[in-house]
A and B are shown apart, each in its own frame.
Chain A
Amino acid sequence: MSSEARAVTIVMIEDDEGHARLIEKNIRRAGVNNAILPFTNGTDALTYLFGADGSGEVSRARHLLVLLDLNLPDMTGVDILEKVKGNRHTKLTPVVVLTTTDDEREIQRCYDLGANVYITKPVDYESFANAIRQLGLFFSVMQVPETN
């Protein structure tokens, strides 16, 4: 794993702490050791991503990857996706949507908005763990550009 890849910070926006824990466990099992920043609501995550002024300046020069759940208590993940892909500092940041929703229209909408990967959380744990591990492999080969 290159030093550049190691510098990538995974921003995990997931309101269910159980899910967050399971995701983290499985990412680690896949051998991904990047720092994981968990957020349990959209507001905090947006503040982190775009700063207090909401300009996104804070994310300049950060290496980020967003893991996004769509069902959040204060907003829908789609709003966050739209904001991330609409800001010039964060638009190149990879966004992985990881959610329970498997509605085709919702999936299509996320891809239309620029989501890089869409994963439906399987209830069956084996599949779930598998999906996350695959995602870990994906992380390890993915080149994340520096935000600017």
Chain B
Amino acid sequence: MPISKSTYIGAAALLLLLGLAALLAIVATSLVLVARSQQQFAGVVTAREVRSAAADLLALVQDMETGQRGYLLTGDESYLAPYRQAVGQVARKAEALRRALRDFPDLEPVLGRLSSTLDAKLAELADTLQLYRSGAREQALAMVDTDRGNKLMEQLRGELQRVRESAEVRLDLAVDRQRASADLLRWVSILGAVAVILVVAGAVWLVLRYTRVLGRARQDVERLNAELEERVRDRTAELGRANEEIQRFAYIVTHDLRAPLVNIMGFTSELETSLATLQSYVARVVDADQCEEEDPATVEARIAIEEDLPESIGFIRSSTRKMDGLINAILKISRDGRRPLKPVRLDLRSVIETSVEAIQHQLKEHDGAVELDIRTGPIVSDRLSLEQIFGNLLDNAVKYRQPDRPLRLAVSSHEAPGRQIVVEIRDNGRGISPQDHERVFELFRRSGSQDQPGEGIGLAHVRALVRSLGGDITLASEFGAGTTFRIRLQRDLGQFLGSSRA
């Protein structure tokens, strides 16, 4: 089942949310449990405080009792030291116990009883000592003999024991609770971890599947691409064949045209030779008969021989010469087209510099300057073709400059998509009017005022060369302002030829 992009994003988002929820749950539970644990810890602390306060209190009261007894037995004040020490602390301890017991509402009655027992005991101790000190020793000892103090002590011990037991119970309870929360925390963590692992596994599965789908899609694209390239190759090969056919055609036609031209020129020459013979004969005969009255037929014959015939022959000659020039031009283009290309690694800059060097002399003469801006690395192409292309274009730039301003040329190059490069040759020459932008590339067509010699084959030749290198040439021009030729070339001609022939 294919996964669409939106399903994928939806599912991924859902998984992410699930994972987030699981994590949040773990965190929240942990927080709650930690809070509870803190609370329980506070409870534990209080219970321990209660326990220790109860023990301390009991120890204090026992110390006091011990002090009292020692004093009563011996009358030695030094035995009262523990009593004195404890009497200052007992109230504070009792208060501490009371405070600690605030959290133990169930011990309220015990606490009440405890307070009164303690007070009674303390009073008993204080009374006996008072009596003893005031000299009523018998009375004091009698008071001890009543065993009331002992009972009170017994009672106090019992009550404090109750308090301690109660605290113990609380402590045990708190520990149990603490253990339960730890268990709970562990389970929540395990569950959360399982949830996170599930979510991650789901996400991984989803990503893998989506990646597989993407991979298949990419394979499809690659296959289509390959087919497309194949088709482009086929077309290019077809074009190449068509081009070869045209060039072959041009070659045959020019050769076949040459054969009759040889005759026309040959026999014209023969005619001239014969005419010369005739002329000298007529001159001799007529000169001999000079004295005689010239009859109209002789005059006409003379005119024909001396004027009409040479004129006709002259026209035939000039026309055939022109025709020969044209045929040679076509032949040159077709021959260049048939020349096998030799793709070699070239530095474009050096090729262009060579071509610029060739026009340096004319440039100097016309105060011209060339600016180079080559931004392409080495290319693989046919050196001779490139030299002819740049040579022709630079020659044209010099030839068709605007005479009233110094010639400025700019040659630049940059990389272009599709393993190509673009070379631009800009001049500030006389420009080409818009209706001639395409026409100038045609054979024997020229543009503007015909003040320069030429047959109108340069640009046709350049275009044929550029196309044989797998590129194209176009121009942009403003009449009177200048022209920019834009040449698109294959960066690697060898590769291009290889692929178009494959």
Chain A interface (Cβ within 8 Å of chain B)?
16, 18-19, 22, 25, 71, 100-101, 103, 121-126, 128-129
Contacts and interface: CB of A to CB of B under 8 A. Distances in A.
B266 interface: yes
Nearest to A23: B266
B86 to A, nearest CB: 134
A22 B263 contact: yes
A18 B267 contact: yes
A100 B255 contact: yes
A123 B259 CA distance: 8
Given A16-B263, A123-B324, A22 B258 contact: no
Contact of A71 (B255, B261, B269, B320): B255
B28 interface: no
A113 to B, nearest CB: 20
Given A123-B324, A125-B268, A125-B269, A18 B263 contact: yes
Given A18-B263, A123-B265, A125-B265, A100 B270 contact: no
Contacts of A22: 262-263, 266-267, 270
A18 B271 CA distance: 13
Contacts of A122: 262
B5 to A, nearest CB: 60
Given A22-B262, A103-B251, A123-B320, 11 more contacts: A16-B259, A18-B263, A19-B262, A22-B263, A22-B266, A121-B262, A122-B262, A123-B261, A125-B262, A125-B266, A125-B269
Closest 7 CB pairs of A and B: A18-B263, A125-B269, A22-B266, A125-B265, A100-B258, A125-B266, A123-B324
A101 B255 contact: yes
Nearest to A100: B258
Contacts of A126: 269
Contacts of B269: 125-126, 129
A115 to B, nearest CB: 18
Interface residues of B, number: 19
B263 A19 contact: yes
A68 to B, nearest CB: 15
B262 A128 contact: yes
Contact of A123 (B256, B262, B270, B335): B262
A71 B259 contact: yes
B299 to A, nearest CB: 32
A106 to B, nearest CB: 11
A14 B258 CA distance: 15
Contact of A124 (B259, B265, B327): B265
Interface string B233-263: 0000000000000000001000110111111
Contacts of B258: 100, 121, 123
Contacts of B335: 103
A128 B335 CA distance: 22
12 contacts: A18-B267, A19-B262, A22-B262, A22-B267, A25-B270, A100-B258, A100-B259, A121-B258, A121-B262, A123-B258, A125-B266, A125-B269
A122 B263 CA distance: 11
A123 B270 CA distance: 14
B253 to A, nearest CB: 12
A28 B261 CA distance: 22
Contacts of A18: 260, 262-263, 266-267
A125 B268 CA distance: 9
A14 B317 CA distance: 24
A6 to B, nearest CB: 26
A21 to B, nearest CB: 8
Nearest to B256: A71
A123 B262 CA distance: 5
Given A123-B261, A123-B324, A128 B266 contact: yes
A75 to B, nearest CB: 16
Interface in B197-242: none
Nearest to B335: A103
Interface string B269-284: 1100000000000000
Nearest to A26: B266
B272 to A, nearest CB: 9
B327 to A, nearest CB: 8
Nearest to A70: B255
A98 to B, nearest CB: 11
A139 B441 CA distance: 48
Contacts of B262: 16, 18-19, 22, 100, 121-123, 125, 128
Contacts of A100: 255, 258-259, 262
Most chain-B CB neighbours within 10 Å: which of A18, A19, A123, A129?
A123
Nearest to B266: A22
A103 B269 CA distance: 27
Nearest to B254: A100
B377 to A, nearest CB: 35
Contacts of B270: 22, 25
Contacts of A124: 265, 324
Interface string B293-335: 0000000000000000000000000001000100100000001
A16 B259 CA distance: 8
Contacts of B255: 71, 100-101
Contacts of A121: 258, 262
Nearest to B261: A123
B479 to A, nearest CB: 38
Contacts of B324: 123-124
A126 B324 CA distance: 14
A35 B391 CA distance: 52
Nearest to A120: B258
Contacts of B266: 18-19, 22, 125, 128-129
Contacts of B259: 16, 19, 71, 100
B397 to A, nearest CB: 32
